[in-house]
Amino acid sequence: MDGLLLIDKPGGMTSHDVVARARRLLRIRQIGHAGTLDPMATGLLTLCVGHAVRLSEYLLGKDKTYTGRVKLGERTSTDDAEGEIIERRDARVTAEDLARVTPAFIGDILQTPPQYSAVQVQGRRAYRLARQGEQVDLPPRPVTIHELTLTPVIKQPASPFVHEIELRVTCSAGAYIRALARDIGEALGCGAHLTALRRVRSGSFTLADALTLDEVEQAARAGILAEHLLPADRAVDDMPRCDLDDDAARRLQMGQFVTGALPIASTGTSSVTCRVYDGQGRFVALGLYDTERALLKPAKVFEQPRPAANASRAACIRKGGAPPP
């Protein structure tokens, strides 16, 4: 069983909790996730199943889109609602203030990770050190904020002051939305922390295509959970495609090089990583094509995927109906 399973993660569960439950339901050990969500966060979590685990590295680097909520006037130890309040300030922020600070957080910026994060410090996770009361110096690192919308939430209609912010952000991999909320609060001069977060897109995958854990369990009971898996090659669908005849594909799978001009879209570079298909249209490998030498080398080779069957039964489960006999 190989492929990608899109999950709508509920709040209160770690990403590892979701993986553990999927392992029990699919009865397969080889499952991993492509991008951690904090326990407080909800939304799209991509699980890689079977041989698709070997493609998770390509999913980790995809841009992501989140929606969330930020409370002004309070800083917490974790930069979100799960931490202790460490500072309170008067938040006299207006919608004009939000419009003023927003441009500073769009584009290539430097961001300091939260103290409670998985960043490694001399071989130890920062959050472990923070739990022991150690204040660690985490250097800022570059991230990219492609889009950022800050919408003011005013609880008292007669007041001009903003109490909370609804945000929508599209960012590069590695960006912390908790840190973004913290830094926006500092730019406004009042402090802030993240109170809600939902991932709605990761790469080309959207939350609209994800299953809840209840839907996953229902499909597992009906024996059709495998039909909900997306093909493994969806993880690399932004790579150029290379179609080989069966003989060439078989040689590549055996670790041999394939020579000669191949139908690979040019990227303007001397080497191109591509997804390779055999004469039956089956995804068999990732290859590295040397454009100068016209030489295709195997990078990662995969076993043949099992064909999907009875998609109508899966559609019924997604809609909450009973599967056809």
Residues with catalytic roles: 38
DSSP codes, 44-69: EEEEEEGGGGGGHHHHHTS-EEEEEE
Tokens 């609804």 locate to: 166
The two tokens of residue 262 are 């191949």
Tokens 């960043």 locate to: 119
Residue 188 is given by DSSP the state H
CA-based max dimension of the chain = 74
Residue 280's alpha-carbon distances to 21, 143, 157, 246, in angstroms, are 34, 41, 63, 8
Per-residue HEC secondary structure of 94-155 comes to CHHHHHHHHHHHCEEEEECCCCCCCCEECCEEHHHHHHCCCCCCCCCEEEEEEEEEEEEECC
Strands 42-49 and 192-202 come out as parallel
The two tokens of residue 301 are 């080779």
Per-residue HEC secondary structure of 218-263 comes to HHHHCCCHHHHCECHHHHHCCCCEEECCHHHHHHHHCCCCEECCCC
DSSP codes, 270-322: SEEEEEEE-TTS-EEEEEEEETTTTEEEEEEE-PPPPPP--HHHHHHHHTT-P
> Which one, of 248, 240, 246, lies nearest residue 289 by Cα?
240
